[in-house]
Structure 1
Amino acid sequence: MIENAKKLLDMVVKKFGENKTLLLSGDSSSGFLPSHSGLIESQDNVCLTLRTASSEVKGMFTGFGFLIGGYGIILFLFIVFFGGGAKGNWWILFVSILIAIIPMVWEMSRPPSRLIVFNRRTQEVYYDRKGDLYYAVWDGIEAVAYEYSIVNQYSGSIVHGNLEIILRKFGASDNRIVLNLSGVPAGKRIPTLVGIWEYLRCFMTIGPWFDERGERTDTRSPFIEDGLKAGDVSSLDLLMEERSLIGREKQEGNGISGTAFIYWLGSYFFFPVALGESLIQKIDRVKGRKHWPEVIQERLDPNGPTTRLIDIEETYMAQKQKELDELHERMRKTLPR
């Protein structure tokens, strides 16, 4: 078991070397400027919620289901209008609808992606892992930032990076996990990782609102507004942006480049993929906000309790055990012998 960030650092140094590894503190500045991670789901006076890497790939199966099923439906309509009627080709329509619907139903029925919550009021970090609640107290918290390279025959050497903290399980302090705060590791470098940490540190220690230098502001600064807008951009938004590229080149009067034409063509061909991903991710985010247990839900309320989980852990678990014992006793008396 990795008990703390220093032990995690030792493991990382042993595996990747000391040159590209940093131990960061939540109590003091690293000297880097804060940078937006693009994973922030929401940010207000009390809480900042961070998406995990798994949420970014949600909807992929639905998207490709929409793509294959959608073009199957188009093929069926083409046969109906230009091939002399459907006749024995109804199976194409049936299979196409199934291909479009089954991945969507499956992904919608899956458990939601878990958000990471930074609570300024209680100075804690919360994370739900497969129904088990994990948390960390911000006071004295440390993080490990490191980068490494992965080499393969197709893409050569690609730099990866992680920003990780240690969380303990609520009600079982000896059970601990390593949690990545930086999302998909590909392309992440040390300066980026430390900038993400500084953003989180500024939120927890300086105030909910600050500028690009990490200095406190009374209201949302343009730095935060622009970051939140950029983080809310979906794959569908990016695809529509590519569609507008050809229009901008027309306005400039220099003709249409091959790149702009390919982007324009791809924006129509891959539209079902982006639509499916965007739809599932929106549903997933709504479900993710509601999965928290009651002890966390009340602490996410601006008027909720200010006690920390570490302060109530022993009493809370004793109360739950008492309720469970009472339930077992009632069942024992009710059930026939």
Structure 2
Amino acid sequence: MIENAKKLFDAVTKKFGSSSNALQLSGGSGTGYAPSQPGLVESQDEVSLTLRTGSTDSRGILTGVGFFVGAVGILLVLLPNLFGTPYSSNLDWWVFFLSVLVIIAPAIWEISRPPMLPVVFNRRTREIYYDHKGELYYSEWDDIEAVAYEYTIVNQYSGAIIHGKLEIVLRKFGDPEDRIVLNLSGVPAGKRLPTLLSFWEYLRSYMTVGPWFDETGNKTEFKNSFIEKNLKSGDISFLDLVLDSRRTLGRERIEGEGVSGAAFLSWVTSYMLFLPAFGMEIVQKIDRKKARKHWPEVVQERLEPNGSTTRLIDIEENYMAQKQKELDELHERMRKTLPR
């Protein structure tokens, strides 16, 4: 078990054989890099900042596939009728029904599931919250330690590719000995150490300087263009990328130098991927709206603008004692009501 950032740092350098591309970080000291973030911030205000996780980006894939397969099935049923050929048998109606079911069933299932919760940085209590398989993990910002490192993966298909991670250690609420390592920097492929350090500075500026700051990390009184630009980059979805690739063909035609094969392929692919991307967009938007209500009560009240400012570590012992008391009372009531 990784207990602290020092042990995490030692594990990283032991695995990759060098400490030249790894750096141990803390919330109280800067790295000298300017703050920036690679489109991972979902929201940012005076109370909290939220980061997307990898599981959040993958949510809705099943619904997207259902949208595509169902649309193809419906099209196969409708096309003959549109060209004057009547339905030949009940098979057409069964295909139509199954196609609609393939669209609706995955969407209902994914929407009804608990949402994927983001990583939350709370400025008011100076804490970080993370939901891991339904369990609450957290860390105090003032005592936080992190490790940023890059490494190279080599294979016969792509050659050498740089990967990088920015990781922190979190403890379980109610069980301080249970700890996990959380990667804050998203997909590791292509991430270099300077990128990770700039992202760390963005998070550090938010927690120590204030909710609004400029590209040098200096505090500003209001949300500025630097913050707006970063939040806009974090709001780009798969559907936005698909729609943007559709515009590539038009941009090349305007430039007047002909249309490239890549632009044409991108244009065709954008229509094929539109329905899967649209399905993912629906599920992910609903997930984000539901996320706040699925945090434990102790987190929800600390994310309110006028909520509690006590830290989880201050209430942890009393909170768990109260929960144990409630559980004991429930067991006692069950023992009295069950037949002997």
Q: Taking structure 1 as the reference length, what is the TM-score of the superposition? A: 0.95
- Which residue pairs with 1:140 in the alignment? 143
Tell whether 2:323 aligns with 1:325. Answer: no
Q: Is the 8 A contact 2:212 2:222 kept in 1?
A: yes
- Which residue pairs with 2:181 in the alignment? 178
- Aligned mate of 1:280, from 280, 283, 286: 283
Give the length in aligned residue pairs: 337
- Which residue pairs with 2:61 in the alignment? 60
Tell whether 2:149 aligns with 1:151. Answer: no
CA-based RMSD of the aligned residues comes to 1.6
Superimposed CA distance per residue, residues 189-233 of structure 1 (whole angstroms, 9 cap, x where no aligned partner)? 111111111111000011110011111100112111011011101
- Aligned mate of 2:263, from 260, 263, 268: 260
Tell whether 2:221 aligns with 1:218. Answer: yes
CA distance in 1 between counterparts of 2:95 and 2:329 reads 58
1:65 Cα deviation (Å)?
1.9
- Which residue pairs with 1:40 in the alignment? 41
Alignment of 1:301-312 (within 5 A): 301-312=304-315
- Which residue pairs with 2:2 in the alignment? 2
Unpaired segments of 5 or more residues in structure 1?
none
Range that drifts further, 305-314 or 283-292: 283-292
- Which residue pairs with 2:201 in the alignment? 198
- Which residue pairs with 1:249 in the alignment? 252
CA distance in 2 between counterparts of 1:73 and 1:152 reads 42
CA distance in 1 between counterparts of 2:106 and 2:36 reads 36
Range that drifts further, 85-94 or 52-61: 85-94
- Which residue pairs with 1:86 in the alignment? 87
Name the aligned partner's letter for residue 13 of structure 2.
V
Q: Residues 173 and 63 of structure 1: is their aligned pair in 2 closer, same or farther, counting only changes over 3 Å?
A: same
Name the aligned partner's letter for residue 190 of structure 2.
G
Name the aligned partner's letter for residue 163 of structure 1.
L
- Which residue pairs with 1:22 in the alignment? 23
1:331 Cα deviation (Å)?
2.8
Name the aligned partner's letter for residue 74 of structure 1.
L
Range that drifts further, 185-194 or 246-255: 246-255
Superimposed CA distance per residue, residues 255-308 of structure 1 (whole angstroms, 9 cap, x where no aligned partner)? 333332222222212111111111111122222222111111111111111111
1:45 Cα deviation (Å)?
0.4
Superimposed CA distance per residue, residues 152-176 of structure 1 (whole angstroms, 9 cap, x where no aligned partner)? 3322222221111000111111010
Tell whether 2:297 aligns with 1:294. Answer: yes
Range that drifts further, 195-204 or 110-119: 110-119
Q: Taking structure 2 as the reference length, what is the TM-score of the superposition? A: 0.94
CA distance in 2 between counterparts of 1:174 and 1:35 reads 33
Tell whether 2:215 aligns with 1:207. Answer: no
Tell whether 2:177 aligns with 1:167. Answer: no
Range that drifts further, 245-254 or 233-242: 245-254
1:58 Cα deviation (Å)?
1.3
Q: Is the 8 A contact 2:33 2:201 kept in 1?
A: yes
CA distance in 1 between counterparts of 2:155 and 2:290 reads 38
SS in 1 for 2:157: coil
SS in 2 for 1:96: helix
Name the aligned partner's letter for residue 162 of structure 2.
V
CA distance in 1 between counterparts of 2:10 and 2:67 reads 46
Tell whether 2:190 aligns with 1:187. Answer: yes
CA distance in 2 between counterparts of 1:156 and 1:114 reads 35
CA distance in 2 between counterparts of 1:95 and 1:140 reads 55
SS in 1 for 2:176: strand
1:70 Cα deviation (Å)?
0.8
1:83 Cα deviation (Å)?
6.4
SS in 2 for 1:289: helix
SS in 1 for 2:277: helix
Range that drifts further, 3-12 or 92-101: 92-101
CA distance in 2 between counterparts of 1:332 and 1:140 reads 44
1:149 Cα deviation (Å)?
2.2
Name the aligned partner's letter for residue 22 of structure 2.
T
- Aligned mate of 1:95, from 77, 94, 98: 98
SS in 1 for 2:247: helix
Q: Is the 8 A contact 2:111 2:287 kept in 1?
A: yes
- Which residue pairs with 1:31 in the alignment? 32
Q: Is the 8 A contact 2:174 2:320 kept in 1?
A: yes
SS in 1 for 2:131: strand
CA distance in 2 between counterparts of 1:329 and 1:95 reads 50
CA distance in 2 between counterparts of 1:303 and 1:252 reads 53
CA distance in 2 between counterparts of 1:9 and 1:83 reads 70
